[in-house]
Amino acid sequence: MARIAQEFRPRNTTDASWQLEPLDTPFAPFALPCSETPRVSVIVPIHGKLPYTLACLRSIARHGAEAAFEVIVVDDASPDESVAVLRRVDGLRLLRNERNLGFIGSCNAGAAAARGAHLLFLNNDTQVTPGWLDRLLDCFAEETACGIAGSRLAYPDGRLQEAGGIVYADGSAWNYGRFEDRDDPRFLYRRDADYVSGAALMIESTLFHAVGGFDQRYAPAYCEDMDLAFAVRAVGRRVLYQPESLVVHCEGISSGLDPFAGVKQYQTTNRTTFVDKWQVALQRQPVPRTPVEIAIHHAQRAHILIVDALTPDAARDSGSLRLLNIMHLLRQLGWRVSFMADNRTATQDEIVRLGRVGAHTLCKPWSPSLAAWLRSEGITLDAVMLCRHYVAAPNLDLVRRLVPRAKVLFDTVDLHFLREQRAAEHTDNSTLARQAELSRRRELALIQACDITLVVSPVEHALLTRELPEARIELLSNVHEVYGRKTGFAPRSGLVFVGGFNHPPNEDAVRWLVGEIFPRLHAQRPDIALHLIGDIPETARPSLATPGVQIHGRVADLTPWMEGCRVALAPLRYGAGVKGKVNMAMSHGLPVVATGIAAEGMQLRDGEEILLADDAEGFVAAVLRLHDDEALWHRLSEHGLDNVREHFSFEAARATLHRILPLPADRDYSSP
């Protein structure tokens, strides 16, 4: 007990998630959020240990949640003053068992009284951190057939306690990640688990009651969370580990640590009960002594490694958004996804974003070089996707040598040589023309050497099919959520261009837009503003800051402009691939005026899904026409949405990925 109390003492840290509530704070009345129509019912069973219960409740009061919730404490005949004190906590629903029901009975009693559509079972020896509840709810909104979602659990001293559980074929179990660093990327991505701890477990109320709640045959406690997970999967639902919900758990306070005394003694007995009940299902579990990194992923039949130049950031470029959405789809299709940037660098935010789509980020200092990782983990790989020719070229031979049976995909992102050829023609630059020819030879050689090549545009698909008829070329274009039109014509105003200077065609487009197109438009309609969004260097901004131009730079969320502006612009004069800025605008129902090159390969018709113009005067005329013609605006808005649904939606990409990357048959990972 002294050790545990010491661990709860304040630490010298700036991490807000680790400012734990002390156990020795004198009680003073406080209030909990409490909704009459809660979305979530938080159920905390207790049997004494009042200081821990108060610390748990104070942490809930401190961090709250975006979703409406209620807190139900179920007192199981506590021998201390818990009931008298807890009655003074405003907003708390306090239930008392007439007799001692044990952990399972108390949880089921709390569930019976709950008003929320979701139940969150929370031990009283826990403390919550920001996002504890909302991120669990995300799993039910974002994951197909989610039945249970569980938190990442950490000890009070900061070490990881559990990142989801493994159940072996003999009924034994292991808390994945126990005693390791809680911020290791291995534990920071969402994935399926055999079970999650009942210390912080969310389940839909209807599902909980449909499977019979916590099975009373495990009373008073132990193995009930494993049993619930198996029951949920038996009815076709999934059990998910959610690392973005971090909960501190002081293990052993509720039931002790001695396996031969108190409630803890039921652990062995209940495991026998569990094995008897689930003997058929256990045949599908990994056998004991299976390496833990294989056992934790045993339900996933395939593993793909993706290597790109940088860790994707959807706020930076459309290629990142496409890759993140491809990762999300691969995981939905049953693939385990690992990602490595060519420089092995990733920020904590980037690791979390990849984790949100179920991808494990391999980066410094956590992961070794690509060669070292392939030597140790390559045996698990069924496919490797190398993105961009300058990443694929130096790594292809390494992959072929160390992972000979893996299917190798070359994702062009866009054809670099085509973009460079067009840039050379646009600028009449002979040096760039020679560079484009060198890039062409490299890209074509890579295409011939890889099993499958991915392109984003039908134009590029046709070009490569003519050049290399023997190669397998597949169209996997941009992938966008169809947001729909949230705002009509009248409330909108202004024009928007999205694109940063880190992509040369965008810089050229912005300079042409501000230098030639917008001055003509502003002279006729000074009431129409132009919004520029994207990475624009400070040194370039003075020359762009002309009347009517608003430079916003890089923004975290495009929605205000997608729903507030009347017209999106794409005045690109060269480039390749499919333009994410056009897809993004259309996915929000925002009509677009573009050049022919910006609309290339997107199955767009002038006057139906888009307006096209390739000179400054024509561009201005198209913008003014669309800005003032409500009927035309609505036609383009509707047809643009239809275009995204048909060609650039998750459904379209899912069908392509399912065809080109079918799940391989189950295999033995013990030999290459």
- Taking only the tens place, the pLDDT of each residue in 70-104 is 999 999 999 999 999 999 999 999 999 988 899 99
Over residues 310-324, the mean pLDDT reads 90
CB-based contact 299:166 (threshold 8 Å): no
Burial class from Cβ neighbours inside 10 Å (0-12, 13-18, 19+) for residue 217 reads middle
Q: Is the pLDDT confidence value at 636 over 60?
A: yes
pLDDT recorded at residue 558? 94
Closest CA to 219 of 171, 270, 260: 270
pLDDT value, residue 11: 44
Looking at residue 262, its pLDDT comes to: 46
> pLDDT for 342-354, tens place per residue?
999 999 999 999 9
Question: At residue 279, does pLDDT exceed 70?
Answer: yes
Can you tell me the distance from the alpha carbon of 559 to that of 496, in angstroms, rounded to the nearest whole number?
A: 12
For 642, the 3-state DSSP assignment is: helix
In one-letter notation, the amino acid at residue 652 is A
Q: Are residues 521 and 408 in the same domain?
A: no
Q: Of all residues in the chain, what percent are helix, strand and coil, respectively (each to 5)?
A: 40, 20, 40
Is 482 inside any structural domain?
no
- Identify the pLDDT of residue 315: 81
What average pLDDT score do residues 393-408 get? Answer: 96
Instruction: State the residue range of the domain holding 459.
Output: 302-475
φ, ψ at 262 (rounded to 5°): 60, -155
Helix ranges (H only) for 211-265 are 224-234
Q: Which residues share a beta bridge with 126?
A: 249
In terms of Cα–Cα distance, which of 595, 423, 572 is closest to 512?
A: 572
Whether 17 and 77 map to the same domain: the answer is yes
Position 670 confidence tier, pLDDT thresholds 50, 70, 90: very low
Instruction: Inform me whether the pLDDT recorded for 453 exceeds 50.
Output: yes
CATH number, domain at 350? Answer: 3.40.50.2000
pLDDT value of residue 219: 84
Token pair belonging to 165: 């559980």
Query: What confidence tier does 253 reach under pLDDT thresholds 50, 70, 90?
Result: low
Please say if the pLDDT value at position 669 is more than 80: no
Band (pLDDT 50/70/90 cuts) for residue 15 is: low
Look up residue 480 and give its two tokens.
Answer: 């966008």
The predicted structure's pLDDT at residue 510: 96
Interval 481-530: pLDDT, tens? 999 999 999 999 999 999 989 889 999 999 999 999 999 999 999 999 99
Q: Is the pLDDT of residue 258 over 50?
A: no
Alpha-carbon span 401 to 363, nearest angstrom: 22
E strand segments, 289-395:
302-308, 335-341, 359-362, 383-387
Tell me, yes or no, whether 255 lies in a domain: yes
Residues 273 and 401 in one domain: no
Tokens at residue 608, please? 């139906």
In which element (H, E) is residue 44 found?
strand 40-46
Q: Is residue 445 domain-shared with residue 506, that is, in the same domain?
A: no
Residue 5 has pLDDT above 60, yes or no: no
Mean pLDDT is lowest, of 14-23, 202-211, 447-456, for: 14-23
Q: Is 189 contained in some domain?
A: yes
C-alpha 132/C-alpha 478 separation (Å) is 33
Q: What is the pTM of this model?
A: 0.87
pLDDT in tens, 549-595: 999 998 989 999 999 999 999 999 998 888 999 999 999 999 999 99
Residue 276 and residue 306 in one domain: no
Q: Give the whole-angstrom CA distance, residue 641 versus residue 653.
A: 16
Q: Work out the pLDDT band at 666, boundaries 50, 70, 90.
A: low
Residues 449 and 469 in one domain: yes
Is 378 within a domain? Answer: yes
**Token duo for residue 450:** 């890889």
* Domain at 223, CATH number: 3.90.550.10
- Enter the tokens of residue 156: 């009070």
Are residues 53 and 18 located together in one domain of the fold? yes
- Judge if 258 and 273 occupy the same domain: yes
CB atoms inside a 10 Å sphere around CB 87: 11
Q: How many other C-beta atoms are found inside a 10 Å radius of the C-beta of residue 279?
A: 11
364 and 454, same structural domain? yes
Report d(CA 411, CA 453) in Å as an integer.
Answer: 6
The model's confidence at residue 664, banded by pLDDT at 50, 70 and 90, is confident
pLDDT mean over 206-228: 93
Total tally of structural domains belonging to the chain: 3
Q: Kindly give the pairing relationship between strand 200-204 and strand 146-154.
A: antiparallel
Sheet strands side by side (includes 302-308): 359-362, 335-341, 302-308, 383-387, 407-411, 452-455, 473-475
Query: According to the model, what pLDDT value does residue 14 have?
Result: 46
Alpha-carbon gap, residue 500 to 316, rounded angstroms: 8
Phi, psi (rounded to 5 degrees) for 217:
-70, -10
Instruction: Please give the C-alpha separations between residue 429 and each of 185, 390, 411, 420, 425, in angstroms, as whole numbers.
Output: 45, 22, 27, 10, 7
Per-residue pLDDT, 8: 47
**Separation of alpha carbons 273 and 287, rounded Å:** 19
659 located within any domain: no
Long-range contacts formed by 205-212: CB under 8 A, 24+ apart: 205/41, 205/111, 205/114, 205/116, 205/117, 205/118, 205/119, 206/117, 207/147, 207/232, 207/235, 207/237, 208/111, 208/119, 209/111, 210/235, 211/235
Q: Which helix (H) or strand (E) holds 462?
A: helix 458-467
Whether pLDDT at 257 is above 70: no
**Is 286 in contact with 168 (CB distance < 8 Å)?**
yes
Whether residues 243 and 355 share a domain: the answer is no
Same domain, residue pair 285 and 309: no
Residues 6+ apart with CB under 8 A from 565: 492, 493, 494, 495, 496, 531, 590
Residue 465 has pLDDT above 90, yes or no: yes
Residues 184, 362: Cα–Cα separation, whole Å: 10
Question: Which pLDDT does position 17 carry in this prediction?
Answer: 60
Name the residue with tokens 């925002």. Answer: 590
Helix 650-660 crosses helix 318-332 at what angle (to 10 degrees)?
Answer: 60
Q: Is residue 547 part of a domain?
A: yes
**653 part of a folded domain:** no
Q: What are phi and psi of 167, to 5 degrees?
A: -115, 125
pLDDT digits (tens, 9 = 90+) for 127-181: 999 999 999 999 999 999 999 999 999 999 999 999 999 999 999 999 999 999 9
Average pLDDT, stretch 639-664?
Answer: 94
The CA distance from 305 to 377, in Å, is 10
Q: Does residue 145 belong to any structural domain of this protein?
A: yes
Spatial distance between the Cα atoms of 259 and 267, rounded to a whole number of angstroms: 7
Domain endpoint, select from 249, 272, 295: 295
Check whether residue 287 and residue 419 sit in a common domain.
no
For the chain, give the mean pLDDT: 92
214 with 185: CB under 8 angstroms?
no
